[in-house]
Copies of this chain bind each other. A is one copy, B any other.
């Protein structure tokens, strides 16, 4: 059985998983799930992922798995996308958890409200904008000192963080204010062949 990825192409969380599979040359089938049509809330979907969120996958052995970063970690196990050095690996995890807690809830949510719910960027909640900008500034500080988030090589941290950062402008964030981030987005897109 081939890996099946259930995802919404609008969602960076879903694209992360797709890009990881592509980069690792893992064969997979993509099943489009439209979250705006609540297709992740059907009884069939909830039987696979009780959290009712995309992405979710059915692995090649038939077992289900959810949470974008958990799926990426599972698919990439033993690959160069996960550092072998214990401290570098810990830093990668630090970025992965930070992404879900301090980046995605602001940068991705702002973009969703503007690009998909049609809210004008200047009417977004001020806290959302402020925290999104803080997340981008934190990336900028790191990427001014290293080409990738964990040193010299592409890791899952870059794939996870690039997903919504590369479309942050769709939520009203001006990436030209973050030149190191902008250069890194280009670098990661080239490495993933997703320009």
Task: Give me the interface of A with B, judged by CB distance under 8 Å.
Answer: 50-51, 53, 59, 61, 63, 65-71, 73-74, 77, 86-87, 89-91, 93-94, 96-98, 100-102, 104-105, 138, 141-142
Contacts and interface: CB of A to CB of B under 8 A. Distances in A.
Contact of A50 (B65, B69, B87, B141): B141
Copies assembled: 2
Contacts of A68: 97
Contacts of A93: 67, 69-70, 73-74
B65 A91 contact: yes
Contacts of A105: 101, 105
A63 B100 CA distance: 23
Given A61-B87, A71-B90, 6 more contacts: A67-B93, A67-B97, A67-B98, A69-B97, A70-B96, A101-B101
B100 A101 contact: yes
A86 B74 contact: yes
A93 to B, nearest CB: 4
